[in-house]
Chains A and B, each alone.
Chain A
Amino acid sequence: MAEAMRAHVAELLKGIDRYNPENLATLERYIAVQAMENAYDLEANLAVLKLYQFNPNYFQTTVTAQILLKALTNLPHTDLTLCKCLIEGVRLEEKPLTKIIELADLLESCQFKLFWRVLQEDPDIIVGIQGFEDSIRKFICHVVGITYQTIEKEHLAELLGGIPDAQTNQWISKYGWKIEENGQTVFVANQEENIKTKNITEKITFENVAQIMAR
């Protein structure tokens, strides 16, 4: 259903119509659909926040919470930052928005173990957001993928939220990582290829100086 609504919503957001608060009902429904079906539409979500900004009486905390959580599923993109810029400070101090911002902060500073712990304290927050945890795990694997050449499997499992072995193996194979012979370490990528000391020296081509030399 999300796909079907996408085109219709895009029409609503054209030109001056995007500021029409009468569109809010449709847009809010679209966000609920995104949450249920694990779909994502940044522009529509930002448009809703902007309508709330222009019409504070229509502000809805539940919808905003959904928008922020969906933004987190798109990490490492900075969608959550864009959302924060459109929400009044005083609103962000309401529950459950404070909790969501706290979780976001932990993710941005890569404190993944703490993130899972804090989430456990209040798991109802993400009820309704289909596939939230897996999206976060995708982000965590992305960060692991750019940081590590090899990592202890136990450590990886912790970062992914203390998941059972079978699940960890699934994530490992999903990213094409290899478990070494000792069964403990995971080979992530040959980082040596990408991360080498480089010495960039200047090359002055003949064309650059030809003009000057031809005097």
Chain B
Amino acid sequence: MYSEEFVEQGAAEFDPYAYYPSQSEYELHTGDPRQDLEYERQYQQSTYIVPEVIKNFLVYFQKCVHEQNLFEIQNAYENGFNKLTDRFFKNSAWPEAEIIAPVVGDDPVFLILYRELYYRHIYARVATGPTQEQRFESYYNYCNLFNYILSAESPVPLELPNQWLWDIIDEFIYQFQSFSQYRCKLGKKSEDEVEHLRRNPKIWNVHSVLNVLHSLVDKSNINRQLEVYTSGGDPDSVAGEFGRHSLYKMLGYFSLIGLLRLHSLLGDYYQALKVLENIDFNKKNMYSRVPACQITTYYYVGFAYMMMRRYQDSIRTFSNILLYIQRTKQMFQNKAQLYDQINKQNEQMYTLLAICLVLHPMRIDESVHTQLREKFGDRMLKMQKGDVLEFQNSFSFACPKFLSPCPPNYDATPANFHKEPFMQQLKVFMDEVTQQALLPTIRSYLKLYTTLTLSKLAAFMETSEEDLRNHLMCFKHKMKNVVWTGSCSGLEGEFQSASEVDFYIDQDMIHIADTKVARRYGDFFIRQIHKFEEVMKTLKP
């Protein structure tokens, strides 16, 4: 039942992607038990027919891309592709590019884009994940894509929706992350696979990834554009030939976020924040209309601030984005994968916020605070009591999947090599937690008094007066964080203390000041009144 066409395309050995050409959309059982069994076995090994509806979709999709019709491309990308995935390829791969190539006239650019979707789908939905071969091929495909975009003499005639551009950068780094962890786990690999890895150090090499991101940033002049935009000017005036083109500009912007993520994964929080120094997070900017990008950005920024002991900045960052997610959650209901991812990041950010508030208690938005208390009340209580394990667990759950930039020693790798970058960051975090171990206890005693002698507090805490003086100095030192005060770069800031409980020592007396903030009702009521009015408006005929 093979037509000659398909046999030519490499069905020589057993080809799991062998196709039966068919007019109908579904190949029904033939009635012959042996044939049916054979069919079912091959079907399970992801053999399938290329249905007409898919061929038609691909042709249509290609047309949209050629016509640079952004609206239709977005529609096909978000709805068309996903609907067909759910219908035919829920847990298996789409047809290989070679198979559908004739349908789209061997169009090289479209095939690169198709492969991007093809491999992304394998990573996301195929249970066994990508094979080593597929990992390598996906990498080559990205090289082709970025080469096409970057080596052109003039801007390439391609327009893609921002969501897709973000997804490309996001996935590119994700696959690099996945590969870095994959190559460290040598236990279950065959000799051949290890040899192949050893011989190809350039594949998914950290320098290549950095090179791509930096090149996109440079080509689009995005930093200059952002500088001018923030000071109220017209970015086009400094954009240059490529930067004026939306594809390059947005890829440049998303690459900055990509660098933020990459540096964070490697533990370089300073550099992570530095690459964003031209982005003004307070200005509602036109670059931030992709929700997934916003959320990812705020997650990594908040995490970097936390590791730098800038708890106030971290808390502010997380509160902002958690509010944003609360308000916009409705929008993602029908996009299952996005919804799951946002949910996960939501949970992680609440966890990190909980940690920061334990280390640096302060007032936050009422609605975020309520959610936090509901979900994390117990955990926060445990951490306040100094439960080290709780800190570790929370950190492990919420932190990024740290990586090492170097390949392992393929001949002799210790068992948990892939965990070492994580252990390293965990240690730094736990060192900080340990140094601050007594602070919650001190705080709780201070809250009870307006004045207190050193000797009395020392007795309460069962420590010597000298040690107590050290602890009190430590409290003051740790509570004074660098806080961002409004200049553009997120790295800048002044030392401030926003501790609700503050004190000073005069001779051997501690004088304590407590900041009591009355509950704020105004905002809440005003918001509810507005909401109610909206409802009334929709009810009126």
| Contacts from A to B (Cβ < 8 Å) | 15-16, 19, 42-43, 46, 50, 53-54, 56, 76-78, 81-82, 84-89, 105, 108-113, 143-144, 146-151, 185, 191-192, 195-202, 204, 208-209, 212
Please list the 9 inter-chain residue pairs (A to B) with the smallest Cβ-Cβ separation, ordered nearest first: A191-B504, A110-B473, A85-B267, A204-B522, A149-B506, A110-B474, A200-B517, A195-B513, A201-B518
Between-chain CB contacts (< 8 Å), 27 pairs: A42-B270, A53-B406, A54-B405, A56-B406, A85-B267, A87-B424, A89-B427, A108-B435, A108-B477, A110-B471, A110-B473, A110-B474, A110-B477, A111-B470, A112-B470, A143-B473, A147-B476, A149-B511, A151-B505, A185-B507, A191-B511, A195-B502, A197-B450, A198-B516, A199-B515, A202-B518, A202-B520
Which residues of chain B come closer than 8 Å to A146, judged between CB atoms? 476-477, 480, 497
Q: Which of B405, B470, B522 contacts A202 (CB 8 A)?
A: B522
Give the most central of A110, A196, A208: most B CB within 10 Å.
A110
Q: How far is the CA of A201 from the CA of B518 in the complex (A)?
A: 5
Q: Which of A110, A204, A209 contacts B470 (CB 8 A)?
A: A110
The answer to whether B268 and A86 have CB atoms under 8 Å apart is yes
Give the shortest distance, in Å, between B136 (CB) and chain A (any CB). 22
Q: How far is the CA of A191 from the CA of B510 in the complex (A)?
A: 11
Which residues of chain A come closer than 8 Å to B473, judged between CB atoms? 110, 112, 143-144, 147
Q: How far is the CA of A56 from the CA of B420 in the complex (A)?
A: 15
The residue in chain A whose Cβ has the minimal distance to the Cβ of B522 is A204
Q: How far is the CA of A200 from the CA of B423 in the complex (A)?
A: 42
The residue in chain B whose Cβ has the minimal distance to the Cβ of A78 is B309
Judged by a CB distance under 8 angstroms, whether B126 is at the interface is no
The answer to whether A50 and B268 have CB atoms under 8 Å apart is yes
Write the B472-495 contact mask toward A (1 if CB under 8 angstroms, else 0). 111011001010000000000001
Q: How far is the CA of A94 from the CA of B319 in the complex (A)?
A: 41
Give the shortest distance, in Å, between A74 (CB) and chain B (any CB). 12
Which residues of chain A come closer than 8 Å to B513, judged between CB atoms? 195-198
The answer to whether A43 and B505 have CB atoms under 8 Å apart is no
Which residues of chain A come closer than 8 Å to B424, judged between CB atoms? 85, 87-89
- Given A54-B406, A150-B507, the answer on whether A78 and B308 have CB atoms closer than 8 Å is yes
Which residues of chain B come closer than 8 Å to A148, judged between CB atoms? 504-506
Give the contact stretch, choosing among B71-79, B204-212, B322-330: B204-212
Q: How far is the CA of A117 from the CA of B514 in the complex (A)?
A: 36
The answer to whether B308 and A46 have CB atoms under 8 Å apart is no
The residue in chain A whose Cβ has the minimal distance to the Cβ of B515 is A198
The answer to whether B504 and A149 have CB atoms under 8 Å apart is yes
The answer to whether A195 and B495 have CB atoms under 8 Å apart is no
Which residues of chain A come closer than 8 Å to B522, judged between CB atoms? 202, 204, 208-209
Which residues of chain B come closer than 8 Å to A46, judged between CB atoms? 268, 270-271
The residue in chain B whose Cβ has the minimal distance to the Cβ of A75 is B477
Which residues of chain B come closer than 8 Å to A108, judged between CB atoms? 435, 474, 477
Write the B342-386 contact mask toward A (1 if CB under 8 angstroms, else 0). 000000000000000000000000000000000000000000000
The answer to whether A15 and B516 have CB atoms under 8 Å apart is no
The answer to whether B477 and A76 have CB atoms under 8 Å apart is yes
11 new A-B contacts at CB < 8 Å, known A109-B470, A148-B504 = A43-B270, A54-B206, A81-B308, A84-B431, A86-B267, A88-B424, A89-B424, A105-B435, A143-B476, A144-B473, A149-B511
Judged by a CB distance under 8 angstroms, whether B88 is at the interface is no
Which residues of chain B come closer than 8 Å to A143, judged between CB atoms? 473, 476-477
Residues of B91-130 at the interface with A, using a CB-CB cut-off of 8 Å, are: none
Q: How far is the CA of A111 from the CA of B468 in the complex (A)?
A: 10
The answer to whether A82 and B214 have CB atoms under 8 Å apart is no
Which residues of chain B come closer than 8 Å to A198, judged between CB atoms? 513-516
The residue in chain A whose Cβ has the minimal distance to the Cβ of B503 is A195
Judged by a CB distance under 8 angstroms, whether B269 is at the interface is yes
- Given A56-B406, A81-B307, A110-B474, the answer on whether A197 and B514 have CB atoms closer than 8 Å is yes
Q: How far is the CA of A85 from the CA of B274 in the complex (A)?
A: 16
Q: How far is the CA of A146 from the CA of B515 in the complex (A)?
A: 18
The answer to whether A82 and B308 have CB atoms under 8 Å apart is yes
Which residues of chain B come closer than 8 Å to A113, judged between CB atoms? 466
Which residues of chain B come closer than 8 Å to A185, judged between CB atoms? 507
The answer to whether B308 and A200 have CB atoms under 8 Å apart is no
The residue in chain B whose Cβ has the minimal distance to the Cβ of A42 is B270
Give the shortest distance, in Å, between A3 (CB) and chain B (any CB). 22
The residue in chain A whose Cβ has the minimal distance to the Cβ of B437 is A109
Q: How far is the CA of A86 from the CA of B427 in the complex (A)?
A: 12
The residue in chain B whose Cβ has the minimal distance to the Cβ of A76 is B477
Residues of B244-276 at the interface with A, using a CB-CB cut-off of 8 Å, are: 266-271, 274
Write the B299-320 contact mask toward A (1 if CB under 8 angstroms, else 0). 0000000011100000000000
Q: How far is the CA of A15 from the CA of B215 in the complex (A)?
A: 9
Judged by a CB distance under 8 angstroms, whether B526 is at the interface is yes
The residue in chain B whose Cβ has the minimal distance to the Cβ of A140 is B473
Q: Which of A56, A86, A200 contacts B516 (CB 8 A)?
A: A200
Judged by a CB distance under 8 angstroms, whether B432 is at the interface is yes
The answer to whether B435 and A200 have CB atoms under 8 Å apart is no
Q: How far is the CA of A43 from the CA of B517 in the complex (A)?
A: 40
- Given A105-B431, A146-B480, the answer on whether A16 and B521 have CB atoms closer than 8 Å is no
Judged by a CB distance under 8 angstroms, whether B529 is at the interface is yes
Q: How far is the CA of A46 from the CA of B274 in the complex (A)?
A: 12
Which residues of chain A come closer than 8 Å to B308, judged between CB atoms? 78, 81-82
The answer to whether A147 and B505 have CB atoms under 8 Å apart is yes
The answer to whether A82 and B405 have CB atoms under 8 Å apart is no
Q: How far is the CA of A75 from the CA of B268 in the complex (A)?
A: 19
Q: How far is the CA of A145 from the CA of B461 in the complex (A)?
A: 24
The residue in chain A whose Cβ has the minimal distance to the Cβ of B502 is A195
Which residues of chain A come closer than 8 Å to B267, judged between CB atoms? 53, 85-86
Which residues of chain B come closer than 8 Å to A19, judged between CB atoms? 207, 210
Judged by a CB distance under 8 angstroms, whether B218 is at the interface is yes
Q: How far is the CA of A48 from the CA of B495 in the complex (A)?
A: 27
Judged by a CB distance under 8 angstroms, whether B181 is at the interface is no
Which residues of chain A come closer than 8 Å to B269, judged between CB atoms? 82, 85
Q: How far is the CA of A192 from the CA of B450 in the complex (A)?
A: 13
Judged by a CB distance under 8 angstroms, whether B1 is at the interface is no
Which residues of chain A come closer than 8 Å to B425, judged between CB atoms? 85
The residue in chain B whose Cβ has the minimal distance to the Cβ of A20 is B207
Give the shortest distance, in Å, between A90 (CB) and chain B (any CB). 8
Judged by a CB distance under 8 angstroms, whether B428 is at the interface is yes
Q: Which of B214, B472, B529 contacts A147 (CB 8 A)?
A: B472
Which residues of chain A come closer than 8 Å to B519, judged between CB atoms? 202
Q: How far is the CA of A26 from the CA of B69 in the complex (A)?
A: 51
Q: How far is the CA of A208 from the CA of B435 in the complex (A)?
A: 44
The answer to whether B514 and A76 have CB atoms under 8 Å apart is no
Q: How far is the CA of A149 from the CA of B268 in the complex (A)?
A: 38
Q: How far is the CA of A208 from the CA of B530 in the complex (A)?
A: 12
